[in-house]
Amino acid sequence: MKKAFMSKVAGSLLLTAGMLAAGAASADTSTLEFKGTSAGFSAQHEYSASSFTDTFLFSIDDSVAQNAYGNALAGFDSKMLFNYGITDIQFFSVGADGSHTDIATTFLPGVFVTFKADSALTAGNYGFSITGRTISGTESGSYGGNLTLAPVPEPATYAMLGVGIGLLAFTARRKSNNKLG
């Protein structure tokens, strides 16, 4: 337990150091802390009708491949008017030198956005960038969301599912009464 905690701390420090060394870190970079399989993220941007990019980093220690997906809700201003637009979310892997390599990402825009990495993620350091803008120059805006990592089922799981469905079909067929017709 202690070893796992220390490896997560070391991974987070390595990620942060790599980002600083690469000159890519800014005040808008955060490291996610998972509680179970999910981690929350959020940001607020003050009174400027300008673009922003926020970066959220995370690590996968498990040797099991993980599906990564999430959602976010864009915020409203003090007059309850929609004031925030998320225009893109992009997953990336983080190299040992802090460099980023984009990962194919599906992004569905709207007030409630959803996003997912198109391929499973294995052990390593990753992140995603959220790009958007506040619409009004007189009101701030915010968003909040959730990232979930879910293990990819192993082939044996699909085989067991297929066998179970086959047995149900076989049993249902045996119980049918052909004498009624």
**Contact, 149 vs 37, CB < 8 A?**
yes
* Backbone torsions φ then ψ of 95, nearest 5 degrees: -75, 170
**Contact, 105 vs 90, CB < 8 A?**
yes
Helices (H), the chain: 2-21, 155-175
pLDDT digits (tens, 9 = 90+) for 128-179: 999 988 776 677 778 899 999 988 765 665 567 766 677 677 676 666 556 6
DSSP notation for 145-169:
EEEEEEEPPPHHHHHHHHHHHHHHH
Distances (CA, A) of 24 to 13, 56, 113, 129: 15, 12, 25, 12
Over range 91-112, report the average pLDDT: 93
Query: Per DSSP, which regions of the chain are E strands?
Result: 29-31, 38-45, 51-60, 66-74, 84-94, 100-102, 105-108, 112-117, 124-134, 141-151
Amino acid 67: pLDDT: 92
Amino acid 5: pLDDT: 38
Over range 86-91, report the average pLDDT: 93
CATH 2.60.120.1050 is right for the domain spanning 2-153: yes
Amino acid at 3: K
Over range 59-69, report the average pLDDT: 86
Question: Smallest Cα–Cα separation from 11: which of 79, 63, 59?
Answer: 59
Q: How far is CA 32 from the centre of its chain?
A: 10
Alpha carbons 32 and 39: distance in angstroms, whole number:
6
Contact partners, residue 175, CB within 8 Å, separation at least 6: none
